[in-house]
Amino acid sequence: MKALAAGLALAAAAAVLLVPPGPRVLSAGIEARDNDYIHDLIIDGHREQTKVRQGLPAWNQPFCGFTRGNGIVVNGRKHVTIRNVTLRNIAGFAILVSNSRYITIDHVRIDNSGSVDGAGQDNTTGGILIEEGTTDFRVTNCELRNIRGNGIWTHSLYTSARNARGLFAGNRFENIGRDALQAGHATEVRVADNSGVRIGYPRGNVEPVAVDTAGNVDRSTYAGNRFRDVNGKCIDLDGFHDGEVRGNTCVGVNGYGIVMNNSNPDMQSRNVRIVDNTIDEAAYGGVFVIGDHNIVSGNKLLNLNRRHQGDPLLHSGIYLGERAERSAPARDNVIEHNEISGAADCVGGAVERNTVRANWCR
């Protein structure tokens, strides 16, 4: 792949400061082309000087072409690599990838980025967004600190193709206002070995999640992620099916541990393996289950129900529900070999329609 041409930097000549022998420093965003290798740059968006306030696009409009003040935009491109780049004080998205293929984002650092709408509410910006049917993408070994919106996430319109064959791995997060990671409207995405602290600070107009899901997400894996001090849920499986949630850890959860949901009409909550996860010090319950043929096994759900709730849905270690956004009675699920402490009820809800065995409750 060809390197980012000198002419690309000089296109904003007045905004370029050469600092030999270090990286180039740009104060204007750049748009990638096919086969670009963008590396060893610093992009400073001067967010506080520009005072950008912008809302969310309409339901039928992508973020690309709507959100202003982005750092790097990859729109309708292929074979683009972004490596060893620092982005700071970006009002929009630090990196926005839309309708593209074969994208690699590696060892990128993002600091103090994102903006709010006219009412001062969160508008999801600041991090790395992959949208509109982007395929074959990797976001690895990145560091994100002080992001007002989401950290790293995928998103597509309901009428668009799903994002596919992606990897979010080895990324680190600190002080993220909304979700640290989200798989939205996607298939075959692996979210693995990421870590973070203080997710959902400062908390805005939505409940933050360490690892979130949206839309229709299948054939995906969330594995080995580690988070501490989450001002919301640890893992939200809204739209997640036919996939695995394995070996994740959240300590200090100011909400529920792991929650299944079914907002998207094209999916059913089934064939999900939730195994060998640790939820420690959650405000409410450990795992909320709906749907059928799911497995919840070998999890450590410790020191739950710190809010001392009376509602069985909130104070159970594992709760087998009747519905979430839509009716989806929990049935034919296997709940076994889980260690549960702090909950008022070990396993609550529709126990009789499921296989519940060999759980250790104290």
Question: Residue ranges of the domains in the chain?
Answer: 2-361
Question: In the chain, which residues have pLDDT < 50?
Answer: 1-20
Alpha carbons within 13 angstroms on the beta-carbon side of residue 243 total 26
Reference 186, options 108, 123, 93, 264; nearest CA is 264
The residue type of 39 is H
The whole model's pTM is what? 0.92
Q: Which contiguous run of DSSP H or E holds residue 336?
A: strand 334-336
Domain 2-361 listed as CATH 1.10.10 = no
On whether the CB atoms of residues 107 and 81 are closer than 8 A, the answer is no
Question: What does the pLDDT read at residue 52?
Answer: 79
Q: Which two tokens stand for residue 106?
A: 């590696």
Query: What SS3 state is found at 146?
Result: strand
Q: Residue 116 has what DSSP assignment?
A: B
Nearest Cα to Cα of residue 185 among 212, 215, 211, 164: 215
- Cβ(236)–Cβ(209) below 8 Å: yes
**pLDDT for the residue 305:** 96
Cα 212 to the center of its chain, rounded Å: 5
pLDDT given at position 288: 98
Residue 80, beta-bridge partner list: 103
Residue 89 vs residues 8, 43, 48, 128, 204: alpha-carbon distances, Å: 21, 8, 7, 14, 19
